[in-house]
């Protein structure tokens, strides 16, 4: 038994190094591609703007925006993924470039990471970034009355937390901060979301042959993010459960776009999200991409990734377009390209 425990811990440690290293290395290598340079796409970046007065790098954000602008543009608040443990605004440069290239002002914050900063540090920081955006976006060319919240994986969780906090009056101080702004996002993009952090064993119950290394990755998110939080205070670690079980919201929920690959181990959370929104009568669209893995849309050289970005843009065009609907030339010029 002791030997098995040591073997399991070693497997988890090695798996974490390999998986974490893969995503971090892919982001760094992608930035070396000539087409990754923002100026090639008419985009400029303002880096490391503090959104909380702590002096911590965890409380800085980048603004990605079109270089040529006329008036205030709608905003995307993009919350990066990484299992609440790894990655940053810098690793997710492709997301800032993709939305800014389309015509949005994109605000990409860092936030505090587990296990050093477990729940609720991440949603506290997401709420602070939301509040900062609504105050400061006009200084950077953004329209605070037209805001999309977006993210993938853990970032999709945080984007959904913001939507829930904007629509239900809740007791958590950070949720109250969002609610009291009186602003509801125009749309939510929740890509391949881990929308319930509790009960990580649910994935293995649905798929008993889920590989051990995948179970380890899901377990380590739960352990790092929730290990030091009180069970009765964890509701907003599981925003999907709120959408499934809570009473009517105080304000109408925004429309959701939820893309995911069918080979993603987190696929069931998107299916549940789609059903919860359907039951509530919330406009939404879940898109399933055959055979694609977790966060596939970040690898934009892939055909399915480009398809996903086109689907995302078309959904947002219906709910919070970056330009007037008649400005067809701009839209054609800003279709996704293989930039990484």
pLDDT value for 213 = 86
The rounded mean pLDDT for the chain is 90
**Cis geometry, peptide bond prior to residue 105 (ω within 30 degrees of 0):** no
Span 289-294, mean pLDDT?
Answer: 97
pLDDT of residue 209: 85
Rounded Cα distance between 92 and 136, Å, is 22
Phi, psi of 216 (to 5 degrees): -60, -45
pLDDT at 336 over 80: no
pLDDT for the residue 338: 44
Residue 155 φ/ψ, nearest 5 degrees? -65, -35
Q: How far is CA 188 from CA 162, 205, 233, 258, 285, in A?
A: 9, 29, 24, 8, 11
Measured CA to CA, the distance from residue 199 to residue 234 in angstroms comes to 12
Q: Would the pLDDT of 327 be above 60?
A: no
Averaged pLDDT for residues 128-138:
98
Contact 238, 302 (CB under 8 A): no
Q: 193: pLDDT confidence band, cut at 50, 70 and 90?
A: very high
pLDDT at 35: 74
Residue that wins the pLDDT comparison between 115 and 209: 115
> What pLDDT is stored for residue 316 in this prediction?
98
What domains sit in the chain, N to C, each tagged with a CATH number? Answer: 2-333 (3.40.50.1820)
Confidence band for 21, pLDDT divided at 50, 70 and 90: low
pLDDT score of 204: 87
Q: Which comes out higher in pLDDT, residue 4 or 49? A: 49
Summarize the confidence of residues 298-311 as an average pLDDT.
96
Model pLDDT for residues 58-83, shown as the tens digit of each residue: 999 999 999 999 899 999 999 999 99
DSSP class per residue in 13-51: HHHHHHHHHHHHHHHHHHTTSGGG-GGGGTEEEEEEEES
Q: Could you report the per-residue pLDDT of 148-178, keeping only the tens digit for each?
A: 999 999 999 999 999 999 999 999 999 999 9
Residue 154: partners with Cβ closer than 8 Å, 6 or more residues away:
79, 80, 81, 82, 83, 84, 122, 194, 221
Residue 269 pLDDT level (bands cut at 50, 70, 90)? very high
pLDDT of residue 229: 73
The pLDDT > 90 percentage for the chain reads: 78
Place of tokens 């055959």: 290
């Amino acid at each position: 038994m002791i030997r098995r425990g040591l073997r399991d811990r070693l497997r988890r440690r090695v798996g974490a190094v390999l998986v974490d290293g893969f995503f971090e290395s892919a982001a760094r290598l992608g930035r070396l591609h000539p087409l990754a340079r923002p100026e090639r796409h008419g985009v400029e970046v303002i880096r490391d703007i503090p959104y909380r007065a702590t002096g911590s790098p965890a409380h800085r954000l980048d603004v990605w925006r079109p270089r040529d602008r006329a008036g205030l543009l709608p905003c995307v608040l993009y919350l990066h993924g990484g299992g609440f443990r790894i990655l940053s605004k810098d690793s997710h440069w492709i997301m800032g470039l993709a939305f800014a290239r389309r015509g949005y002002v994109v605000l990409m914050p860092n936030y505090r990471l587990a296990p050093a900063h477990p729940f609720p540090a991440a949603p506290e920081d997401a709420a602070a970034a939301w509040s900062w955006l609504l105050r400061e976006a006009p200084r950077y060319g953004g329209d605070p009355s037209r805001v999309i919240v977006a993210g993938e994986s853990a970032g999709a969780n945080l984007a959904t937390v913001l939507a829930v906090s904007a629509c239900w009056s809740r007791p958590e101080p950070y949720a109250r901060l969002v609610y009291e702004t009186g602003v509801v996002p125009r749309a939510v993009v929740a890509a391949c979301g881990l929308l319930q952090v509790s009960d990580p064993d649910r994935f293995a119950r649905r798929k008993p042959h889920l590989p051990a290394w995948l179970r380890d990755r899901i377990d380590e998110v739960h352990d790092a993010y929730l290990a030091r939080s009180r069970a009765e205070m964890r509701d907003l670690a599981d925003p999907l459960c709120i959408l499934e079980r809570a009473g009517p919201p105080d304000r109408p929920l925004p429309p959701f776009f939820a893309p995911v690959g069918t080979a993603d181990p987190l696929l069931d959370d998107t299916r549940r999200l789609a059903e919860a929104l359907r039951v509530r009568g919330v406009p939404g669209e879940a898109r399933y991409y055959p055979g694609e893995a977790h966060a596939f849309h970040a690898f934009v050289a892939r055909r399915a990734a480009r398809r996903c970005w086109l689907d995302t843009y078309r959904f947002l065009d219906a709910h919070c377009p970056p330009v007037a609907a008649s400005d067809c030339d701009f839209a054609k010029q800003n279709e996704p390209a293989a930039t990484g």
